[in-house]
Amino acid sequence: MKLTKLKYLGIVTAGALLASCAAGVDDTGLEYAPQMYHSTPYEPLTQIVDEDRGSWLDSNDEDGHGEFYNSNPYNQFKMNMREPVANTVRRGQPLPVRLTKDELEVAATTLVSPFPADDQSVVKDGKVLYDSYCKHCHGAKGNADGLVADKYAGVANLNGAAYLEITEGHIFHVITFGKGLMGAHGSQVSPEDRWRIARYVKELQKSN
Ligand code: HEC
């Protein structure tokens, strides 16, 4: 009696094992309790738009869709995870160059501050703006020792020999469009305020 039971169990197990063998590499074979493998809620990286996908065996009966149908009907292309906004840069990839050298040179030599050279209130306002928008990277005196510079390598030392001769137009353009590793600040700082900051940077350089 015992032996017959064991035999019976053996046949059932062997049958189940055989039945779960896949026919091809793309076929996962028969799955038991498929709802344990396949999430019914939306998953960010799953995007199967075919509503008939799945079968009576592995379908999710509540919504009538196949078990594998896992797309978001409310998003474009039934996507679950939205596409990143245009011009998103992948982590670890270099940032795109925002300015060509020529464009910067033209800006540096042709753009002129609208503020008179002796206007001290421009320097005063420029300091307040610099302290808000630039100090955390470039440091209070421009020496690239802001708190962010600790973690964010490559911040320019504005008192370095290479920068002492840059014009206010040059600085204005760099604030507007960014340069290399530095992001653009054009959308945050008004053009007038960019000129105020540029004036202040030139003053900073003199005081060092
Ligand atoms: C998030 C940090 C960060 C902030 C904020 C920042 N910068 Fe920069 N800045 C950099 C880095 C990094 C560089 C070096 C860019 C490179 O050469 O790749 C740089 C370079 C510069 C340069 C030299 C550009 C050249 O011609 O090579 C100037 C001038 C400058 N920044 C001014 C400013 C001013 C003014 C502000 C405030 C509006 C500012 N930066 C805000 C990080 C920053």
Answer for the pair 78, 69: CB distance below 8 angstroms, yes or no: no
CB atoms within 10 A of CB 200: 24
- Look at 140 and 2; give whichever has higher pLDDT: 140
The 10s digit of each residue's pLDDT in 73-128 is 888 888 888 888 888 888 887 766 556 678 888 888 999 999 999 999 999 999 99
* Local confidence band at 171 (pLDDT 50, 70, 90 cut-offs): very high
The binding-site residues of ligand 1, defined as CB within 6 angstroms of any ligand atom, are: 133-134, 136-138, 148, 152, 154-156, 158, 163, 171, 174-175, 179-182, 185, 197, 201
Both tokens assigned to 83: 């596409």
Task: Determine the average pLDDT of the residues in 14-27.
Answer: 64
CA 202 to centroid of ligand 1, rounded, Å: 14
- Quick one: pLDDT at residue 129? 98
CA 115 to centroid of ligand 1, rounded, Å: 22
Atom 2, ligand 1: residue with shortest CA distance: 137
CB atoms within 10 A of CB 85: 6
Q: Average pLDDT over the chain, rounded to whole?
A: 83
What distance in Å separates the CA atoms of residue 181 and residue 23, rounded to the nearest whole number? 52
Characterize 121-160 residue by residue with b for buried, 16 or more Cβ atoms within 10 angstroms of its Cβ, and e for exposed. ebbebbbebbeebbbebbbeebbbebeebeeeeebbbbbe
Atom 1, ligand 1: residue with shortest CA distance: 137
Question: Which atom of ligand 1 approaches the CA of 198 most closely?
Answer: 35
**The Cα angle at residue 133 between residues 129 and 136, in degrees rounded to 5:** 120
- Quick one: pLDDT at residue 196? 98
The 10s digit of each residue's pLDDT in 40-63 is 677 788 777 777 766 555 555 565
CA 156 to centroid of ligand 1, rounded, Å: 6
- Quick one: pLDDT at residue 124? 97
Question: Which atom of ligand 1 approaches the CA of 149 most closely?
Answer: 2
The 10s digit of each residue's pLDDT in 132-168 is 999 999 999 999 999 999 998 999 999 999 999 999 9
Answer for the pair 164, 156: CB distance below 8 angstroms, yes or no: no
CA 118 to centroid of ligand 1, rounded, Å: 25
Answer for the pair 132, 141: CB distance below 8 angstroms, yes or no: no
CA 200 to centroid of ligand 1, rounded, Å: 14
